[in-house]
Amino acid sequence: MTSVHTTVMTSNAFSFYRVELDRADGSTAVEYRKRRKATTAKGMERQHNNVVTSVIEELRYYRVEGWKRLTVTRVPASEVAQATH
């Protein structure tokens, strides 16, 4: 007999990142990213760098022009919940 364990994914299992893209015309685009939570400081730093790299790759792929600053910040889940409502 085998037992099946189900894992409930809560906000504690994820890290959330706010990605802000400041454009040359003065406007700002904001989006949120969700990643599995890292367990070590080194892992959190690596994960942050991976989020930054993936955003830059997407900007290059879609040939987004006219942006001057990219800011990636780790934020609490409550901020993401407020932003989506």
Q: Strand 14-23 relative to strand 28-36: parallel, antiparallel, unpaired?
A: antiparallel
* pTM across the whole model: 0.81
pLDDT tens, 2-28? 444 444 445 689 999 999 999 999 999
Candidates 32, 28, 47; CA nearest to 81 is: 32
Number of Cα atoms under 13 Å in the Cβ half of residue 23: 10
pLDDT tens, 52-69? 999 999 999 999 999 999
pLDDT tens, 34-56? 999 999 999 999 999 999 999 99
CB 71 within 8 A of CB 19: yes
pLDDT band at residue 72 under the 50/70/90 scheme: very high
